[in-house]
Structures are given as structure tokens and as C-alpha cells.
Amino acid sequence: MNFAVPRFFSFEVREGDVGEIDFLLEGGTQDFLHRPVQVNEDENEEEEKPLILSTLFTARKENREEIAAQVREDVDGLSCRVVAVEQTVAQHVTQTMKLLEAMTERHCAMEQNVKTVGEKQESLLERLELLEGKFAKVDFQVSSTRTSDSDGGNHRPALIAGGWDADQHHEETLRLVKQHLCAIKADLDLSQAFVPGLRRGFAIVPLNKNTGESEADMRTRVQTILRAVRDAKIITGQRREGGNRYLFAAMSQSPERRKRAQLAGKVKRLIIEEGGDPRNIEVEFGTANLWYNTVKLASGVTTAPEGAQSEKAGWVHLGNLARQIGSAENSVCSRWEELRKALQ
């Protein structure tokens, strides 16, 4: 009976080979020891086995180094690409911030311009308020601006001054009119001033010629007084829609002329509030004739054209008005319904 005699081999263990030797000791040792060993008579082959294992270990180590070098190269390349992306993003952010700053500056400039336009429009509306319902259209035709004289039945021109609430007591209104006219040193005889009713927001001051004064001189004097009242800008209260009311003064007019002036004033205000350009408005308050872009939109002395809306003092064509200022006709009609309530 033949027995296989196990033979033991010696290995040269180097640094770095411990991991591979552990594999043999832990898992493959038993199989290796119980496996029949084929004995080769050639001693040179036995001496070459350690060299073959060492060569595998060396090749594996070199392979790891190559992989590590490739990984480092890839990481370096990725880092370069990340840096490039960061630079590009930084440039875009810088450009975006510059554009945002420029837009902010333009927005601030636009906001300031809008504020300026709003202030100018508010000032214009205040002036228009004085013109439309407060007899601000000056008419120095003495024949049409008279009040009764109790002495001989003759008629004299009169000045109307006011600006207070219509429900204010007549004594308070008269006191304030005299106080403010004296404060601006108006050359008027206030002893005959009166309020035509128990509660009014204005008073009537009859005009008399001074000693040796001609009619032309009196007109010049009255015009100076009207200008002084307008420039004084004396606040008399607050309007319901907002803003201040100011003291006004104007020559008295006939009821028909006042109504036409009110109509023209309301139409002019409607155009401005709906976005029309005040520079394109031409108006005659005495006749209520009003043109916008040379197109007649209202009148108190001519026949109403087709499509015009009739009012007490004349007519207004809201359709043409909306087309001329480029606004919606519904909006124009709605606003006009509010303004026309103040027409007498």
C-alpha cells in the first residue's frame, strides 16, 4: 500500500504580503494541507514557487498604484472643472448684480418722476377746482356782472369771495371774508359786503369806484385784488375727496354764464383725471366751448351733435372724449356721472 507523504514548502514573506498569507491561513489552509502533493523531482521548480507568488503580489501592487494615479488624475481634472464652473457662476452673479443695481436706479428715477407728475396733477386739479365751480373765469364786462343797489335801483358790479363749506353760518362766512381780504390789503369797501342766505360758503362785495377813478382803473384794481387772493393761497378747509380748499375771489356773473363755466370746468377736469394732456385742451368758460386736439367735445351755445349727452348748460360728447384721450368709454361715463352731480 502506498501513502502520500506531505511535504512542507518554505515561503519568503515580505512586507505587504501579510494580507495574502492570511487568506491561506484562514480559509485555504486546510484544503491546502490535505491536498495530495505531487512531488516533482526537479528541485529548480521548488525554488521558483516563492518567486511566482511574489511576482503576483508585486503586479497587484503596481496595479493599485496605477489605479490610484488614475483616480488622482480624474480628481484633479474634476477639481479644475469645478473651479471653472465657480468662476463662470461668479461672473454671471456679478453681471446680474450690476443689472439689478441699474434696474433699481431706473426704478427709483421712475418712481420720483411719477411722484412729481402726481404732485403736479394734484396742483392742477386744485387750480381747476377754483376755476370750475367758484366763478374763477374773470369777466370784466360790467354790464353782465352787476348786483342791485338799494338806493336807486341801479346795478353795480360785485366781487364774490369764498371757499368755505356751503352749510357754514353766514355771520362766520362774512367775518372770515372781511378778515382775509383785510389781511392781503385788498383795496375794497367791505362795509357793504353781505352773504345771500343764512348759510353760504361765500360772500358778495359790491364794487364802487374810488374818487377820481375811471372804469379802466377800477378794472385794473379789481384784477390786482384777484391776483393777490390767488397768490395768497389761504386755506379755508378740506375737500371731501381730499386736499385743501383755498380762498377764491372772482367777478360775479349771470346764472347762465356760471352754469356754462361749471360745465366747461367739469369737462376739463374729466379729461385730466382720465389721463388726457392738459396742453391739448382749449376752453372758453363763458360759452362752455371746449376742444381737445382741435375736436369740439362740449359747448353751451351750439347745437348738440349726434351722440352727445345733453346737460342743463349745454352738451358734452363722451364718446368722442374717450376716443380722443384713449380711455375706455365706460370709465369716462362712470366718472362723468359723479362730476355732473355738482352741476347746477
- Is 214 in the same domain as 272? no
Please report how many Cα atoms fall inside a 13 Å half-sphere around the Cα of residue 209, on the Cβ side: 11
How close are the terminal C-alpha atoms of the chain, in Å?
146
Residues 6+ apart with CB under 8 A from 284: 264, 290
State the Cα–Cα distance between residues 271 and 268, nearest whole angstrom. Answer: 5
In this predicted structure, what is the pLDDT of residue 150?
42
- End of a domain among 233, 252, 271? 252
Spatial separation of the C-alpha atoms in residues 139 and 130, rounded to whole Å: 15
Q: What is the DSSP secondary-structure string of 164-218?
A: S-TTSBHHHHHHHHHHHHHHTT----GGG-B-SSSB-SEEEEE--PPTT--HHHH
Residue type, 40: N
**In a shared domain, residues 110 and 153:** no
Same domain, yes or no, for 144 and 88?
no
272 touches 260 (CB < 8 A): no
Domain-located, residue 218? yes
CA dist 174 and 237 (Å) reads 16
Which region, left, alpha or beta, applies to residue 37 given φ > 0 means left and ψ of -120 to 50 means alpha? beta
d(C-alpha 148, C-alpha 194), whole Å: 12
What does the block give as the cell for 244?
385743501
Looking at the fold, whether 259 and 246 belong to one and the same domain comes out as no
Report yes or no on 7 lying in a domain.
no
Q: Is residue 87 part of a domain?
A: yes
- In the predicted model, residues of the chain with pLDDT beneath 70 are 1-51, 132-156, 344
**What residues make up the domain containing 203?**
138-252
> Is there a domain that residue 16 lies in?
no
Residue with cell 461672473: 91
201 lies in the same domain as 108 = no
Looking at the fold, whether 242 and 293 belong to one and the same domain comes out as no
> Alpha carbon 308 to chain centroid distance?
35
Same domain, 331 and 270: yes
**Helix-helix angle 255-273:318-325, to 10 degrees:** 40
249, β-bridge pairs? 161
| 276 neighbors 292 (Cβ within 8 angstroms) | yes
The answer on 209 and 150 residing in a single domain is yes
Who contacts 208 (Cβ-Cβ below 8 Å, separation ≥6)? Answer: 156, 189, 192
The answer to whether position 69 is within a domain reads yes
Q: Which distant-in-sequence residues (6+ apart) come within 8 Å of 300 by Cβ?
A: 259, 260, 263, 264, 287, 288, 289, 313, 314
Is residue 229 within 8 A of residue 134, CB to CB? The reply is no
Instruction: Say which CATH number the domain at 235 has.
Output: 3.30.70
**What pLDDT does 175 receive?**
93
Same domain, 180 and 97: no
Which three three-digit cell numbers place residue 155?
A: 346795478
Residues 245 and 262 in one domain: no
Question: Cell 348738440, residue?
Answer: 304
Which one of 222, 252, 282 terminates a domain? 252
Do residue 145 and residue 234 come from a single domain?
yes
Q: Based on the domain organization, do 151 and 193 belong to the same domain? A: yes
Q: At what angle do helices 170-183 and 215-232 cross, to 10 degrees?
A: 100
Q: Report residue 264: phi and psi, to 5°.
A: -60, -40
**In this predicted structure, what is the pLDDT of residue 312?**
86
Listed residues 236, 252, 268: the one ending a domain: 252
Provide the CB-side half-sphere exposure for 200 (13 A, CA): 17
- The answer as to whether 133 is a domain residue is no
**Structural domain count, the chain:** 3
∠192-197-198 over CA atoms, to 5°? 110
Minimal CA–CA distance to 247: which of 137, 136, 121, 118?
136
Q: Specify if 70 maps to a domain.
A: yes
Confirm whether 61 is domain-assigned.
Answer: yes
